[in-house]
């Protein structure tokens, strides 16, 4: 959902990189999952996270992540990483959001910004005065006016360039934009990195409300990788720094995975066109199959206002319009007619089952245009919350933007697949893949092909925790005058 005006005009992040040009720079980003993969994770909290997440979705984005955590509904919901900012640098844990564009961190003196977290991280607040490389952005600067979708009478010469974002759950973050150094790890060969420094403009949050200010699983901010013109990847691509293409591979078996910006040359994938003029990565959905049999769903459901399914790695479960959900569940449970289900946490259908779920339940396949399909096997859409108690990851959409029911496909479907987003060709594609292995990416400047492996941030205490992996890119610093 796009940010709304609330006291201020909504501002999207403008990322500007300053410093020396680096040719063919490849960078990596170590990412951890918000929830630690604890079996029996509070399902109500998990569902609430997805609901909040739907409200804060803006668009999808790109970077190359070395991933940590896992995609299981009992442990997965949100990924975060550490960002090293300032001089001297300090680390900030920020939520990685492929559905938004804005980068912001909590700032010193922030009203209602969280100071404690159950995630086992040390909370940090950015202090502009404590960084020798930090600079404020004021209203008369071009970077500020470019952030507004219209001229604000409240923004006058010498005043801080302010922002306010209201998310769909009613929570807000507001503050002002600053510019400072960010420290990255450039990929210089197969599994090798070298230091790289950039300079960015980002939001400094001075006040928060709602869930952002009260969550016990708090982080220091959000880093978005949206596809909008003012997003991180779009700004870098406009500066000739990166290609507008990226990939992620979420390891739903052992945790971790890969997230890479650039041209993936291995493995190859089939692709389908992204629908134009959508705030999210959306592709046309044709039908759903259960065990190879097409589910009887009214064609009008597939011709809904959204005209497609949203692909979003920031959402954990899968949400379907009511008629599609009921038809699919009826066909699915018909395979186990004697099975009795019960409700858990009010939102999940669960049952007791002692056998191998892959033997007792059918795969579910989503068919898209371009002969592209996405299959969830029983071990993907069923998750064990306690011994022999299994819950179903499919969810009935209660309504999207403007009350529309939507197809929203999250990690339940995307785990264990390499997903490629080509924003230049405006296509998306995927293939079943072992996300604990590696992929190959091409650096266009040198023509070299590098191997990028999977990673878990939790096992990399000696590695810089924030690293973008810009494959096939020249990491160029773009200096704002």
d(CA 95, CA 81): 7
How far apart, in Å, are the Cα atoms of 145 and each of 151, 175, 333? 7, 16, 55
Structural contact between residues 451 and 467, judged by C-beta atoms closer than 8 angstroms:
no
312 is catalytic: yes
252 vs 124: CA distance, rounded Å: 30
Question: Cα 48–214–95 angle (5° rounding)?
Answer: 70
Q: Tokens in use for 137?
A: 């952005």
Of residues 406, 305, 413, 323, the one with CA closest to residue 367:
413
DSSP state at residue 372: E
Q: What is the DSSP string of 105-135?
A: EEEEEEET-----TTS-----B-GGG-TT-E
Q: Identify the residue whose tokens are 């078996």.
A: 253
Could you tell me which of 190, 258, 312, 315 has the C-alpha nearest to residue 435? 258
Give the integer Cα–Cα distance in Å for 450 and 277: 34
Candidates 49, 454, 41; CA nearest to 253 is 454
How far is residue 16's CA from residue 10's CA, in Å, rounded to a whole number? 19
Contacts of 113 (CB under 8 A, 6+ apart): 106, 107, 125, 205, 207, 208, 213
Strand 192-209 and strand 103-111: the pairing is parallel
Token pair for 481 = 């005058």
Are 200 and 180 in contact by the 8 Å Cβ rule? The answer is yes
Q: Phi and psi of 377, rounded to 5°? A: -90, 165
From the candidates 50, 180, 211, 312, which is the catalytic residue? 312
Catalytic residue among 50, 64, 91, 97: 97
Q: Which two tokens stand for residue 60?
A: 């999808």
Residues that are catalytic: 97, 312
């Amino acid at each position: 959902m796009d940010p709304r005006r609330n006291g201020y005009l909504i501002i999207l992040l403008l990322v500007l990189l300053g410093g020396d040009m680096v040719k063919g720079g490849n960078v990596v980003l170590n990412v951890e999952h918000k929830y630690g993969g604890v079996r029996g994770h509070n399902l109500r909290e998990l569902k609430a996270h997805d609901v909040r997440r739907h409200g804060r979705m803006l668009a999808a984005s790109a970077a190359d992540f070395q991933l940590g955590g896992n995609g299981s509904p009992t442990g997965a919901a949100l990924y975060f990483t550490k960002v090293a900012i300032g001089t001297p640098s300090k680390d900030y844990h920020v939520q990685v959001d492929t559905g938004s564009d804005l980068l912001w961190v909590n700032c010193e003196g922030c009203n209602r910004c969280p100071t404690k977290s159950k995630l086992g991280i040390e909370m940090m607040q950015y202090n502009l005065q404590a960084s020798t490389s930090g600079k404020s952005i004021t209203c008369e600067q071009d970077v500020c006016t470019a952030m507004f979708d219209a001229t604000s009478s409240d923004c006058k010469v010498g005043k801080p360039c302010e922002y306010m974002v209201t998310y769909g759950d009613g929570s807000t973050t507001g503050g002002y934009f600053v510019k400072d150094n960010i420290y990255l790890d450039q990929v210089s060969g197969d599994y090798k990195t070298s230091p790289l420094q950039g300079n960015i403009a980002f939001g400094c949050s001075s006040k928060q409300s709602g869930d952002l200010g009260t969550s016990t699983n708090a982080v220091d901010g959000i880093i978005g990788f949206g596809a909008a013109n003012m997003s991180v990847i779009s700004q870098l691509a406009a500066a000739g720094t990166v290609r507008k293409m990226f990939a992620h591979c979420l390891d739903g078996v052992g945790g971790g995975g890969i997230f890479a910006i650039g041209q993936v040359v291995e493995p190859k994938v089939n692709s389908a066109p992204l629908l134009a003029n959508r705030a999210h990565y959306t592709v046309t959905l044709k039908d759903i199959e259960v065990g190879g049999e097409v589910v009887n769903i009214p064609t009008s459901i597939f011709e809904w206002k959204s005209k497609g399914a949203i692909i979003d790695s920031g959402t954990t479960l899968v949400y379907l319009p009511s008629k599609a959900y009921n038809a699919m569940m009826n066909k699915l449970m018909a395979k186990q007619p004697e099975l009795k289900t019960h409700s858990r946490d009010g939102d999940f259908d669960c049952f007791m089952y002692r056998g191998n779920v892959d033997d007792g339940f059918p795969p579910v396949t989503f068919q898209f245009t371009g002969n592209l399909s996405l299959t969830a096997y029983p071990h993907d859409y069923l998750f064990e919350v306690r011994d022999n108690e299994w819950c179903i990851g499919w969810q009935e959409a209660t309504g999207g933007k403007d009350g529309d029911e939507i197809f929203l496909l999250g990690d339940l479907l995307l785990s264990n697949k390499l997903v490629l987003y080509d924003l230049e060709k405006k296509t998306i594609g995927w293939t079943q893949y072992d996300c604990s292995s590696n992929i190959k990416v091409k650096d266009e400047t040198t023509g070299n092909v590098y191997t990028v492996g999977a990673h878990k941030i939790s096992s990399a205490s000696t590695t810089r925790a924030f690293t973008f992996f810009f494959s096939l890119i020249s990491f160029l610093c773009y200096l704002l005058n």
